[in-house]
């Protein structure tokens, strides 16, 4: 991507970033709820955690795109 994003390019990235952050929070809550139920499906927990990690990676990528490079 170019060094400087236009407002037209920045807005969709920020919207996607907020959506991904919300989904990450929702997965965190779902994992906690499943763990507190007592009878835990470990495979389901692992799948949710894997999805949560992929969301975190995507959030980091988008944040890097939105943050300008500063040469020190």
Reported pTM: 0.80
Q: What is the pLDDT of residues 1-55, one digit of tens each?
A: 445 778 888 999 999 999 999 999 999 999 999 999 877 789 999 999 999 999 9
Question: Which residues neighbour 38 within 8 Å (Cβ) at sequence distance 6 or greater?
Answer: none
Predicted local confidence at residue 56, as pLDDT: 97
CA angle 48, 25, 56 (to 5 degrees): 70
């Amino acid at each position: 991507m170019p060094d400087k994003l236009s407002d037209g390019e920045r807005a969709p990235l920020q919207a996607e970033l907020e959506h991904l952050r919300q989904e990450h929070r929702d997965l965190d809550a779902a994992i906690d709820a499943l763990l507190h139920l007592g009878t835990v499906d470990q495979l389901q927990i692992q799948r949710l955690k894997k999805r949560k990690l992929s969301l975190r990676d995507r959030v980091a990528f988008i944040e890097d795109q939105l943050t300008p490079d500063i040469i020190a």
